[in-house]
Amino acid sequence: MEKIFARLNEEQSIAVKNTEGPVLILAGAGSGKTTTIVSRLAYLVKGVGIPASNTLTLTFTNKAAKEMRERALGMMEDVSYPPLLCTFHKFGLLFLKFNIHLMGRKNNFVVIDTDDKKRIIKKINSEIATPLIASEISRYKNSLMTPDDAYKQAELYNYQQIAKVYEEYEAYLAENNLVDFDDLIALTYKLLEDNPELAKKTSEKYQYIMVDEYQDTNELQLKLLQKLCSTHNNICVVGDDDQSIYGWRGAHIRNIMEFDQDFENTAVFKLQNNYRSREPILKVANALIEHNRSRLGKELKPTRGSGEDVVVLNSHDESEEARKIATNITKLIDSGVSAKDIAVLYRVNVLSRSIEEGLNRARINYKLVGGQRFYDRAEVKDLISYIRVITNFNDDFSFKRIINKPKRGLGKASVDKLELSAHAAEKSIFEFIKSSSVAELEALVRKKNAKTLKQFIKDIQSVAKVAEESTYNFIDVLEDTFSLKDIYKSQPDEQERILNMDEFYALFRDFIKNNPESGLDEFLNELTLQSEQDQVEGESIYMMSIHASKGLEFDHIFIIGMEEGFLPLVGDGSDLEEERRLGYVSFTRAKEKLTLSHVSSRFYKGRRSDLEKSRFFNEAGLCQGSLKLEKNTAFKKGDLVRHKIFGTGRVLGVSKAGKEFKLNINFAGTKKDILASFIERL
């Protein structure tokens, strides 16, 4: 018990002890959010005496769940039964496993990922952009809209089409007993909604509910939470409205803004002591985020004392920027800073390229975080498809992926014919080939391929038998039977692909070793929900998008591309306040020193364009004429200056304009008033 509170400050302790009823913990960046939520869980179990199995703690990522589980178990020492601490989706998966039969479906369903989803959509409709349909379907599901509802709501012809695709997509999933990511939550909610007894029982089981990163929840997740705590209202959410950066993905910032309206008698706690960053960094971050209108209002209070000022790098173009950053990093490393304590962040991934070149030239090792995920790699997905077919012969979707891998002389045309005939016979493709004679198949595909197909079916059946008898050995038999490593034979990236396949095989063996009772379908569903855990280790600096950096911290942070158009990024659907929060998230990753870089010109999308420095410099108080320069004005009468459009001129006078300075300048006889931040001194 003392152990739990020893590491908490007063605010954190109060929040931890407030166990009953709805609690909103607004935790600023670096304020000990994870420590607080984990301590609260430990306190519930060890201090209040709640059985761990009666608690439920939800996160968004497996990584967060894993970290919290380890820390919580460490604090709780001996518990006979561990608390349920998992992602929203994992919770949905578990719940559906036990209850999906109530809606007339079998519980051996397979979870499909976004890629699978898009393939299915594309097959149904290739006229409308697949990503648009995919996101619309996601939206429908998250608003609990049936295809019928979607159709009724559709005004434009295009949207009627999308509603139609949605309907067919749902039929396809049901037919093949598939479930997509949204279903894991939506079907869970539906079951609770349609079965009041079940809802009551479930709510009574999870007496105490906690949610991490609450600012990232969407509307449906809120509704699910309301169902889950309907019998007790013991819900504690932790989050930071200023770090809501997933609005574009459906996260609903209003959930955290209006938590007290969704749950009556909410107790609110603010954690504002920042244990991460030096004072100058927090000053800049606070100044920036203060420009947002829609926020609950917090201010990060420094506890780590003063430190180095925030540095602004100004370069002509991206190669100069890369050079400057490489030089700065080299200096840091030479002065004894460990490479792993340095990170370069950017708003869009393409910006990493120029920096990569600069780092390579300077011989600095770097690690790119993000990029393509292991489970999204084609070779890994091929293997997964094989296992899926072996688990379920009727999974046409996966069957089609592997039917010509390695090459069996079946192209799109042949596969289409097979599928059509199978459909007409009301069979899966697998069943169709199995039940057809060689002669019948010869009518559909090239002659020599008919036999190959029959053999393929036999092989699948025999490997499936092995899987039942000895799951552990199955993976070797799979490779040997189908020569899967030949799929990418004599391709330039063959070696890398084989390495990934071996990695996958090792993963499989690990899983079976750790879960000897599990079969292939448990392995598959686990996989789909698994993301690549970024290993943060090794002697290289890190480069990643600002989104990917959320939750991480580094001693030294460099943010590149601080220009209008990049940060803030503009485009349709862009939200300046969310862009500002991205700036805030990126600034607050830094513990010791923050460096912000901008260029005047950048090569992007095949062309070079001129760029203005980000307005965020101004807002963060980092511009000439800003707070720091109040005493010693950057410009004075007589200075020779330059403006992007008006060219060179001479300052005639300096006056104040809010927090900024306004200069009266004589440009070759034309006098103009211009804000100081747009002016460059010569």
Total of chain residues touching DNA, rule CB under 7 A: 44
- 69, 589, 591, 602: the catalytic one is 589
Find the binder of DNA among 106, 293, 412, 631 (CB under 7 A).
412
- Half-sphere exposure of 399 toward its Cβ, with a 13 Å CA cutoff? 24
Q: Provide the 3-class DSSP secondary structure of residue 439.
A: helix
Is 347 tagged catalytic? Answer: no
Find the binder of DNA among 571, 638, 658, 669 (CB under 7 A).
571
Find the binder of DNA among 33, 223, 278, 347 (CB under 7 A).
347
Find the binder of DNA among 12, 55, 57, 87 (CB under 7 A).
87
In the complex with DNA, which residue's Cβ is closer, 62 or 303? 62
Find the binder of DNA among 531, 648, 655, 666 (CB under 7 A).
531
395, 423, 405: which is closest to 120 by C-alpha? 395
Q: Is 413 within any annotated ligand binding site?
A: no
Q: Is 370 within any annotated ligand binding site?
A: no
- DSSP characters for 254-284? HHHHTHHHHSSS-EEEEE-EESSS-HHHHHH
* Contacts (CB under 7 A) with DNA, residues 107-146: 113-114, 126
In the complex with DNA, which residue's Cβ is closer, 12 or 414? 414
Report cis status (omega within 30 of 0) of the bond before 131.
Answer: no
Rounded Cα gap, residues 17 and 160, in angstroms: 52
Amino acid at 353: R
Q: Which two tokens stand for residue 559?
A: 């943010």
Stretch touching DNA by CB under 7 A, among 59-67, 334-342, 434-442, 588-596: 59-67
Residue 377 in contact with DNA, rule: CB under 7 A: no
Stretch touching DNA by CB under 7 A, among 190-198, 309-317, 481-489, 599-607: 599-607
Is 480 tagged catalytic? Answer: no
Rounded Cα gap, residues 154 and 146, in angstroms: 12
88, 205, 90, 103: which is closest to 142 by C-alpha? 88
Q: Which two tokens stand for residue 139?
A: 């939206």
Is 33 tagged catalytic? Answer: yes
- 19, 34, 226, 330: the catalytic one is 34
Q: Is 163 within any annotated ligand binding site?
A: no
Q: Provide the 3-class DSSP secondary structure of residue 465.
A: helix
565 and 601 Cβ atoms separated by less than 8 Å? no
Kindly state the smallest distance separating residue 571's Cβ from DNA, in Å: 5
How many CB atoms sit inside 10 A of residue 22's CB? 21
Q: Which two tokens stand for residue 222?
A: 């809120």
Is 34 tagged catalytic? Answer: yes
Kindly state the smallest distance separating residue 36's Cβ from DNA, in Å: 21
Q: Is 307 within any annotated ligand binding site?
A: no
Residue 324 in contact with DNA, rule: CB under 7 A: no
How many CB atoms sit inside 10 A of residue 637's CB? 12
Find the binder of DNA among 477, 569, 652, 675 (CB under 7 A).
569
Find the binder of DNA among 33, 46, 69, 89 (CB under 7 A).
89
Q: Is 287 within any annotated ligand binding site?
A: no
Stretch touching DNA by CB under 7 A, among 16-24, 56-64, 95-103, 235-243: 56-64
Residue 363 in contact with DNA, rule: CB under 7 A: no
Is 589 tagged catalytic? Answer: yes
Q: Which two tokens stand for residue 472?
A: 């552990």
Rounded Cα gap, residues 282 and 587, in angstroms: 8
Q: Which two tokens stand for residue 69?
A: 């589980």
Find the binder of DNA among 107, 365, 462, 574 (CB under 7 A).
574
Cβ neighbors of 420 (< 8 A, separation 6 or more) are none
- Half-sphere exposure of 352 toward its Cβ, with a 13 Å CA cutoff? 19
- 215, 243, 391, 471: the catalytic one is 243
Rounded Cα gap, residues 19 and 138, in angstroms: 35
Q: Provide the 3-class DSSP secondary structure of residue 664.
A: strand
In the complex with DNA, which residue's Cβ is closer, 166 or 263? 166
Residue 441 in contact with DNA, rule: CB under 7 A: no
In the complex with DNA, which residue's Cβ is closer, 294 or 574? 574
- Helix, strand, coil percent values for the chain (each to nearest 5): 50, 15, 30
Catalytic positions: 33-34, 212-213, 243, 589
What residues make contact with DNA under the rule CB under 7 A? 60-63, 87, 89-90, 113-114, 126, 181, 248-249, 347-350, 353, 370, 373, 404, 407, 409-415, 529-531, 544-545, 547-548, 569, 571-574, 603, 605-606
Binding site: residue ranges?
27-34
